[in-house]
Amino acid sequence: MATTTNSKRKKQQHQAVIRLVVMIAILICVNILASRFHKSFDLTREKRFTLSDATRNMLRDIDEVVVIDVYLDGKFPAGFQRLSEATRERLQSFKEYAGTHLQYRFLDPFEGVAEADKARVARNLYEKGVEPVSLNVREDQNASEQIIYPYALVQCKGKTMAVKLLENHLGMSPLEKLNYSESLLEYKLATAIHKVQISAKPRLAYIVGHGEQLGPNTYDLFYTLSQHYFVDTLDLTTQYHINDALYNAIIINKPTLPFDERDKFKIDQYVMHGGHVLWAVDMLNTPVDTLQRAGQFLTADFGLNLDDLFFKYGFRINYDLVEDVQCTEIPLITGTLGNGQPQIELRPWPFFPVFTPVSKHPVVNNMDAVLGRFVNSIDTIRNAGIHKTILLESSNYSRTAAHPVRVSLSMIRYNPDPKLFTNPHRPVAILSEGEFYSLYNNRVPAAFLSLLRDSLKYNFKPKVDSATSMIVIADGDFMLNDVSRSTGPTEMGYWRYTQSLFANKNFVLNSLEYLTDPHSMLEARNKDLKLRLLDSKRVKDEELKWQFINVGLPILLVLVFASVYLFFRRRRYEGRNS
């Protein structure tokens, strides 16, 4: 009997060893397969962890190693720790498609650096475009200041691009800003990787010859564009045509003199040959210097002679001014203080509207508000084969004043009454794209066409061969920067009276990226992460309760199940022995 029992026991032990070996082998095989083949399922409603098609295709096509240094290693508050982890997760998802062509690391720029050398390190980072951010850290009743660098440095082919990971969105709480920053991680990182791989920058032509802005007020525009493009100034009046093979897009920024038919023909044929145009046009003259000196002015028509060209391309810029309750503020002298100094208050100025993008188009999706100054409205026109997308529009409480408009500073003494602003959602910036037809089809003499073809080797095109696009902003001041007497040119979109920085620069860069780069990463801007905040008061009041539920309860359940299992196992074997 004892021999039989020992034999059964040895057999059970042998089977147990086999099961253990098989289990270990299965685990090893699963780990090997998991390291080679990765598959995840994104169950979030907004597809938080799913990369866009454009990003995946770009990552698969990387042909040289891209190195990314992220300066978010260290001890940070919970919100920035979340941004650091989100960046790590996003780069890991990038690496799944790029493989060994993508390397990243998280660094503390001052780790192991002597106190005397920290200024030198900070200066080197600043020269690369990595700027510090001062963070106020609050812990219970204590507060301290911490300097962090929420940047990633993308390097490839000897080129370096700094990526700002922390965004600042007007009107957002700190948690909302972090969530907004997280939603743009894919787009920002993918765009930087894409740009450092491009061997040659796209080329832009800045058109002059019709009173376009050129000088201190375009300093930031040219400086910003030079980071991403080669920019030439092109005098349209001295050129036979605009070289579509050389220039990916042209910029026409606040012309003030009429275009004759020859210059309109050059623009028209550039478009017909597949060129792209970014327009920033004022139809009305609104002299700010007269307003400052005399306190009022009456609008005048610039007479640009562009109406028929615009109509052919599917839109019309109206001779009016948009007034909006959602606007910025300007200073008004309201009295005199006791020391004789003027008393100045900031009052809303409806002629300087603030536009908050609501379109889901990649050019403006997830973009902060932009500032307009004496803006015209735009009407779209039905044209076969041309699709129009409204990128910017006025708010629910807006109206338009038809030319001629009397603008007086006395208007800001009274707060705008929303009941009087009854013309909402007036388009002020649109994208027009598709198959354009020439304004000059069947209008140009045959002799001129022969001269164009035989002497200049330039063929007239009555329509585009394939779809092209243009973006129109009905505000000639949109891309201009102010100039301070003390500090010089300011940033595009900066309003000194409220010290607000609007997203005009981002709008311009996104527009040009959309026009010039068919493989751009703008698709990734469509991602919109929902912020699901916890009730901070309830979290504090019920802290112990939820700690017990999340930590103590699972342990307690394991102990209960183990006790029940041991109890029934003991009863089972006691019954056998008896």
> How far is it, in rounded angstroms, from Cα 241 to Cα 55?
36
Q: Can you give the pLDDT at residue 108?
A: 87
Q: Can you give the pLDDT at residue 216?
A: 93
Average per-residue pLDDT in the chain? 85
Kindly state the percentage of the chain with pLDDT values over 70. Answer: 87
Residue 376 has pLDDT above 60, yes or no: yes
| Residues, the chain | 578
Residue 530 has pLDDT above 80, yes or no: no
Q: Can you give the pLDDT at residue 343?
A: 74
Residue 430 has pLDDT above 60, yes or no: yes
pLDDT band at 531 (very low <50, low <70, confident <90, very high): very low
Q: Taking residues 145-160, what's their average pLDDT?
A: 85
CATH code for the structural domain at 53-196? 3.40.30.10
Q: How many helices (H) and strands (E) does the chain have?
A: 15, 28
159-163, 170-174, 390-394, range with the lowest pLDDT:
170-174
> What are the extents of the domains in the chain?
53-196, 202-526
Q: Can you give the pLDDT at residue 5?
A: 63
pTM reported for the whole predicted model: 0.78
399, 375 Cβ separation under 8 angstroms: no
> How far is it, in rounded angstroms, from Cα 190 to Cα 523?
11
Let me know if 400 is exposed, middle or buried by CB neighbors in 10 A (0-12, 13-18, 19+).
buried
520, 511 Cβ separation under 8 angstroms: no
Tokens of 13: 């032990």
212, 477 Cβ separation under 8 angstroms: no
**Residues near 165 by Cβ (< 8 Å), separated by ≥ 6?**
70, 72, 83, 87, 150, 151, 152, 181, 185, 188
58-67, 137-146, 398-407, 502-511, range with the lowest pLDDT:
137-146
Q: Taking residues 34-53, what's their average pLDDT?
A: 61
Q: Taking residues 245-251, what's their average pLDDT?
A: 95
| Start-end of H helices in 37-117 | 53-60, 78-98
User: What is the CB-side half-sphere exposure of residue 547 using CA atoms within 13 A?
Assistant: 6
In the chain, helix, strand, coil percent, each to 5? 40, 25, 40
53-196 shares its CATH topology with 202-526: no
| E strand intervals along 209-319 | 230-235, 249-253, 277-280, 284-285, 296-298, 300-301, 315-317
pLDDT band at 455 (very low <50, low <70, confident <90, very high): confident
> How far is it, in rounded angstroms, from Cα 475 to Cα 283?
9
Residue 42 has pLDDT above 60, yes or no: no
3-state secondary structure of 430: strand
Q: Which of 111-125, 183-197, 276-290 has the highest mean pLDDT?
A: 276-290
Q: Can you give the pLDDT at residue 226?
A: 92
Residue 429 has pLDDT above 90, yes or no: yes
Higher pLDDT, 137 or 379: 379
CATH code for the structural domain at 202-526? 3.40.50
